[in-house]
Chains A and B, each alone.
Chain A
């Protein structure tokens, strides 16, 4: 596709439910990133893939958060037993190679609200 797409754009979950957020990166981009953006804050790094390999997951807040990218393209961020503090916008970004000077291209985000 022309850009990074994310679905759903909005998700409302009851506390304790599991959710799955999808990211379609730009075709051919090697690197994929997930960020969490709380209201009024900048994006915070969650995890990073190079192709299908998850090279860093140091930003995942707890073991309830899990991300995968099994075929090196589409990625899913799963949150189990959602809590109110999980409410945020989840951003996905992709880049050609993942180098430090690489431009990251961001999707529009998924706004998760946990009631």
Chain B
């Protein structure tokens, strides 16, 4: 299975800071890209899908560079509640793949007061 690579961190930032996470994927045929958030001992939860044109959801901005096989997530004005592990996730999207998700190991973020 092709890999998804992330900097494991941890990233320790003060409240209000801007923080960026990066991710690379090795399968050039990948079609769908996501950022999930995982709190300690909890299930992954979809944060946002990532589109080639870039997309924004409130304080979160995701970018995709297909040529470089690179995905990013920017969090502005970070809150204490943003503390979690952020998972870069890639899906091949092919009918016969069963839509299996391929997860990175995650980047840990700790936002401090």
The answer on A and B forming one complex is no
What residues make up the interface of B, taking CB atoms closer than 8 Å to A? none
What residues make up the interface of A, taking CB atoms closer than 8 Å to B? none
